[in-house]
Amino acid sequence: MIQLLGSGRSNASVRIQKNKIIKTYFDHSSAEKRFNNELDIYLFANENKLSYIPKLISYDREKRQLVIKNVGTDLQKYLSKNKKKSLKDFLPEIKKIYDDFISHKVYHNDLRKKNVLYNKKNNKLYLIDFENSGPRYLDSDHEDLVKMVKNIKKTYKRTKLGSKRIKRKRKSKRKSKRKSKRTRK
Ligand SMILES: Nc1ncnc2c1ncn2[C@@H]1O[C@H](COP(=O)(O)OP(=O)(O)O)[C@@H](O)[C@H]1O
Ligand SMILES: [Mg+2]
């Protein structure tokens, strides 16, 4: 069975074939550029074993076609069907993935629920759709997902640093106690 997916936004057709996804770029002035950009990211991810990017099975430069492993359901679809789960539940993991991608000097630049996939079986998240990804931040962030991810980063850092600071203070207190004991003797 072949199922058509894709937003149509990018002028690419996305078909599901069993455990594979076939993405083909239409003949459009920017198709070549977007295809090459996405292919480069998949090749980079495969080389660097980025586990949160689905495996690229094969590609065809002439047909401008990518064959990618089908790794799950996008969060837009998943959350609309599973009312018990909310986007909040996934934010910490999205943050991890998003930050790791940046640590490789790549901004996703189209972060949205449709471009984050969830695999229920292994409880893992994946990033897809790298047509606009690159070394500069250019995300218009329509869904405020980057904003949400950044916000949880701040709270996390604050508590982490805070606890470190508290430990250090305690240590130095102990030291000064010891010192004062010694001087008393
Ligand atoms: N590797 C994949 N595994 C499972 N679903 C996928 C995969 N790649 C794409 N999809 C599905 O196809 C949709 C469109 O793919 P995407 O690469 O984002 O194309 P577009 O550029 O049209 O947005 C995604 O939102 C998702 O539902
Ligand atoms: Mg997409």
**Can you give the pLDDT at residue 6?**
56
In this predicted model, what pLDDT tens digit does every residue of 26-39 receive, in sequence order? 877 889 999 999 99
Q: Coil, strand or helix: which one is 76? A: helix
Q: How many angstroms separate the alpha carbon of residue 110 from the centre of ligand 2?
A: 8
In this predicted model, what pLDDT tens digit does every residue of 48-85 receive, in sequence order? 999 999 999 999 999 999 999 999 999 999 999 999 99
**Contact of 69 with 55, CB cutoff 8 Å:** yes
Which pTM was predicted? Answer: 0.82
Mean pLDDT of the chain: 86
The domains of the chain, with CATH numbers, are 3-150 (1.10.510.10)
Residue 83 pairs in a beta bridge with none
The atom of ligand 1 lying closest to the CA of 23 is: 17
Q: For atom 13 of ligand 1, which residue has the closest CA?
A: 6
**Contact of 74 with 114, CB cutoff 8 Å:** yes
